Structure 1
């Protein structure tokens, strides 16, 4: 979790990690994996479905992508109680997405987001509280969505057609374990923010005082302090505030999970049952991305995509094309946008001279 207090030089070091040159490594990793996949399975005739592209579905996909980002901008502006302008909200979201692309998936944009809000004029304590609120809402969406997709898709959520029985069982265990962990953490955050943050802080400290966990005791203490502060900042907000935040969260994550289905539907005929199964498989696909150690899951996301969605597409060559297109619109696009937004934002916040030093070090 982000720290409550960070010296100025640490903020600059964190932003330095996001300099535009950092896009090179994930691009090389991702494109190398896709290139290898094409080299291994390419057959020219397999790309015939491209001639039958459906412009309407391509338009729907574009609308979903724009709506998703607009939803994120709306959510952060209203979570911060309109302290952020629309322009500042857009900058924060673009840089948040960019940081998720250039940092390992386990870190994502969470470490950077409080710094972005703080430099936009929001006190660091409030910044941490707002980011914790987004994390809580994101986790609650996952907690509520999983039972629904399991009800709809059942055992078909797991790619039996692409994995042997042992691997399917391993994926199922990982999926269940991640759901249990996310659920426990989400409800612990709800309890801490709205009921008794100090008791949760004590639980963290006692848990990480056990042998084998002591190395993380200081971070647990820090996280407990953050929960106490977040509770003080957020508890007084009314029902309308949380309803707005909840609906915008549901909107953006639903849009996020719809992208693959829209993309496949633009080139392949799928039934509505298959479309919603694709939506459900996004949640099992997410388990792989959560444990990815590469920047933005580069290489791992591309490599795992055919396993989860290949059966809906057909040939390996066409599936590899879908992988490339999917990563272009949901990953490489944000690398490019981040490389554009970051220098402008740093210049606006720190000034031209200091911005040059941060970006050139």
Structure 2
């Protein structure tokens, strides 16, 4: 799971950074133009519906604060998981870079390998670093696989899933409802495997997965797979004896991060909603957003570029003024996604200079 420095720095090429931006905005721009043509409305009228008022400014400012809350939650989580060996500034650098690598990678890939690499370079042992990353992945999986059903305790499930019944995705070739259940089922299987490998039967899972990877059909993934299997066993040894207070604290930090992440979208909707959103509306938006995050897992594009924006416009069209759903989707991503692409380069430059004593832009990239 540990990357080499040269592989890490390749991620900062202009092409890797521009690809998700161009791809996401290209898909959205094409769809936005098609919807505008079909609506047969003058551009001036469409823009009038996207008017900024004191209310919209307040909610967008609150959305920015929610992003800060989200990053603080992950910083606090990392401080707990490292037994407070890392300073707050170091935690912030790692979180920002972790988000950068997640932004330039498909959703299923994320930035886990890079996170282990950075933690090791911060003098955290490889076993502890592996345990930290797997714990973060495990807690995230628990949160967003259970949230759609937790939300249904307060909002009728039919209202949460209603838009998916009528949307046909050209990307998936079928109903988005099918796409959701495929993604959710895969995440649940992965979560069950993580629970078994980390807490229930780590040695048995290690033995079973090792034998499975030795089959001829998995020869292309064998080397990487065996590394991950061993990493799981290492992480299990670190995590199984942790006390209840540790798990309580890390779960509170994780929940804080995800609450901040979810409320960003709610704030964007509230900023331009034709009528003020009620508590029920906010709960409904959270439920649908939980569905959106799971559907985004299916995306093969870096950072779910394009799929996230289109999914937003499909699921939240009834919250937005007519004709501006995709515009709100772009605004949501401008707050919650694209900044990490911009911040990543200077933060990485600073981090490499601090760790190696040289600039990331200089040719000393052969260090492992």
Structure 2 match to 1:63 = 65
The answer to whether structure 1 residue 91 and structure 2 residue 102 are counterparts is no
Structure 1 match to 2:147 = 145
Q: Distance in 1 between matches of 2:321 and 2:69?
A: 29
Structure 2 match to 1:16 = 10
Which one is further off, 186-195 or 205-214? 205-214
1:243–1:168 CA distance, 2 compared to 1 (3 A): farther
Listed as ranges, the gaps of 5+ residues in structure 2 are 37-42
The answer to whether structure 1 residue 357 and structure 2 residue 354 are counterparts is no
SS at match of 1:108: coil
Structure 1 match to 2:167 = 163
Q: Kindly indicate whether the alpha-carbon contact (under 8 Å) linking 1:58 and 1:266 is maintained by their aligned counterparts in 2.
A: yes
1:174–1:24 CA distance, 2 compared to 1 (3 A): closer
Structure having the higher helix fraction is 1
For normalisation by structure 1, the TM-score amounts to 0.88
Q: Distance in 2 between matches of 1:125 and 1:142?
A: 26
How far is the alpha carbon of 1:213 from its aligned partner? 4.1
SS at match of 2:118: helix
How far is the alpha carbon of 1:247 from its aligned partner? 1.1
SS at match of 1:132: helix
State the Cα RMSD in Å. Answer: 2.6
1:123–1:277 CA distance, 2 compared to 1 (3 A): same
Structure 1 match to 2:23 = 29
Of the candidates 207, 232, 239, which is equivalent to residue 234 of structure 1?
Answer: 239
1:65-214 equivalent positions in 2, closer than 5 A: 65-151=67-153, 152-158=155-161, 159-160=163-164, 163=167, 170-209=175-214, 212-214=217-219
How far is the alpha carbon of 1:186 from its aligned partner? 2.0
Structure 1 match to 2:312 = 305
Of the candidates 321, 337, 341, which is equivalent to residue 343 of structure 2?
Answer: 337
1:18-41 CA-to-partner distances (Å, cap 9, x unmatched) read 346632222222222333344334
1:212-270 CA-to-partner distances (Å, cap 9, x unmatched) read 44543444432221111111122232211111111111121122122111111011123
Q: Kindly indicate whether the alpha-carbon contact (under 8 Å) linking 1:26 and 1:294 is maintained by their aligned counterparts in 2.
A: yes
Q: Distance in 1 between matches of 2:212 and 2:165?
A: 41
For normalisation by structure 2, the TM-score amounts to 0.87
Of the candidates 244, 254, 262, which is equivalent to residue 249 of structure 2?
Answer: 244
Q: Kindly indicate whether the alpha-carbon contact (under 8 Å) linking 2:350 and 2:359 is maintained by their aligned counterparts in 1.
A: no
How far is the alpha carbon of 1:162 from its aligned partner? 5.2
